[in-house]
Amino acid sequence: MYSEPSSTILTRMQGNVSSDVDKSEGSLVYDALSPVSVEIANQESNLDAVAAKFDMSNLSGDELATRIYQRTGQPRNPATYATSTVTITGNGTVNVGDLVQTPGGIQFKSLVQQTISGSASINVQAVIAGSSGMVPANQITQFPVAIPGLVSVTNPNPTVDGFDAETDASLLQRYYDYIQNPSTGANTAYFSNTMKGYAGVGDVKVYPTWNGNNTIKLVIIDANKLPPSADLVTGAQSFMDPGVQGLGEGAAPFGAFTTVEGAAANTITVSFTAVKDTDYTDVQRLANVQESITAYLKSIAFVASAVSYAKIGGAILDSAGILDYSNLTVNGGTANISLSYTASLTETPVLGAVTIA
């Protein structure tokens, strides 16, 4: 940038003093100029820091979010609260805010007040926003505070729609998309930029005139790059165009009949023979491979036209506990798996069974 060492500044300042004057260390001139050179160097360094902030990629956290909001009006997508329906048995009353939890202490609060006689289903929401509220089926099994008359609780299905706040990287990419593909009127970029700004939406495919003039279809995936829940699709539809009426009551412009749908899962199954690192257990190896492949699939969702057989192999080699592999099959074969991006079928890759021999 622009900053210089104080010694360089001092030398230049001494050069402006007559040569017949003593400028050696300890002299009056030296002692007068030296502190000034240090202060100028500090100020130049501060100016460098300010100049660096003109590049968005150098910003982070609230500073990045604030600058992007000032320029685009788009805030960071906040963390969302996971939701579920639990089945409670017994005879008693559940009040709004009553708690149930997993054995690990992940708590959910009731969203309704209901008297239970025998059993009933209750809508609950995670107490803490974010992915920590995403738990498998049959894990919400405890009452942290006993509720008179109620005996047991469980969640028949996994919780849904608990997403962490948008990362700096995701927010910055959304900003670049907004700048490089400006929204003008009701163009494709407008629908894409607007839909990506809805909390929980990870990406969108836009299909203009999919069902005739003035019709728009938006196919979305969630923030984890997976097919969205029915609730997320319903919320996104209401946000864009309630009732698909084109009345301009949502974010979609008047006259644009906008349909929101969720992407379909293209399930990717993987099988291979491993040369195993014995420092890891089979359970650890499997978890590491699943994590590595999942990260790859997330990186290509709504981007690549196919799941790469070779890159699946690369993800396996990047997994702790795997030294080498052979006999790799993906969906039973050794070829790339195509992904469809059409109005009638838009797919996102989802990891299915992983078998390690």
The Cα 98–Cα 126 span in angstroms is 12
* Shared-domain flag, residues 247 and 270: no
Confidence at residue 217, expressed as pLDDT on a 0 to 100 scale: 98
Domain count, the chain: 4
Q: Is the pLDDT of residue 35 over 80?
A: yes
The residue to which tokens 């502190």 are assigned: 35
Q: Which helix or strand (DSSP H or E) is residue 7 part of?
A: helix 6-14
* Shared-domain flag, residues 22 and 103: no
Decide if 135 is inside a domain: yes
Decide if 176 is inside a domain: no
Give residue-wise pLDDT tens across range 143-157: 999 999 999 999 999
Over range 47-70, report the average pLDDT: 89
Domain boundary among 53, 72, 91: 72
Whether 229 and 163 have beta carbons less than 8 Å apart is answered as no
* Shared-domain flag, residues 65 and 109: no
* Shared-domain flag, residues 270 and 221: no
Confidence at residue 349, expressed as pLDDT on a 0 to 100 scale: 98
Confidence at residue 41, expressed as pLDDT on a 0 to 100 scale: 85
Decide if 77 is inside a domain: no
Q: Is the pLDDT of residue 48 over 80?
A: no
Beta bridge partners of 264: 347
Q: Is the pLDDT of residue 243 over 80?
A: yes
Q: Is the pLDDT of residue 132 over 90?
A: yes
* Shared-domain flag, residues 62 and 95: no
Give residue-wise pLDDT tens across range 72-107: 999 999 999 999 999 999 999 999 999 999 999 999
Sheet holding 150-154, edge to edge: 99-101, 107-110, 114-126, 83-94, 150-154
* Shared-domain flag, residues 271 and 351: yes
* Shared-domain flag, residues 294 and 235: no
92: domain range? 83-154
Decide if 172 is inside a domain: no
Confidence at residue 1, expressed as pLDDT on a 0 to 100 scale: 57
Which residue type sits at 303?
V
Domain boundary among 218, 240, 262: 262
* Shared-domain flag, residues 269 and 341: yes
* Shared-domain flag, residues 253 and 273: no
Decide if 1 is inside a domain: no
The Cα 191–Cα 227 span in angstroms is 19
pLDDT band (50, 70, 90) for residue 47: confident
Bigger pLDDT: 344 or 52? 344
* Shared-domain flag, residues 191 and 148: no
Over range 174-178, report the average pLDDT: 93
The Cα 75–Cα 222 span in angstroms is 18
Decide if 292 is inside a domain: yes
Over range 203-217, report the average pLDDT: 97
Q: Is the pLDDT of residue 57 over 70?
A: yes
Average pLDDT, the chain: 95
* Shared-domain flag, residues 37 and 16: yes
Q: What percentage of the chain has pLDDT greater than the value 90? A: 83
What's the whole-model pTM score? Answer: 0.82
pLDDT band (50, 70, 90) for residue 292: very high
Over range 15-43, report the average pLDDT: 89
Decide if 171 is inside a domain: no
* Shared-domain flag, residues 271 and 345: yes
pLDDT band (50, 70, 90) for residue 46: confident
Confidence at residue 50, expressed as pLDDT on a 0 to 100 scale: 80
Kindly give the pairing relationship between strand 99-101 and strand 107-110: antiparallel
Domain boundary among 72, 101, 127: 72
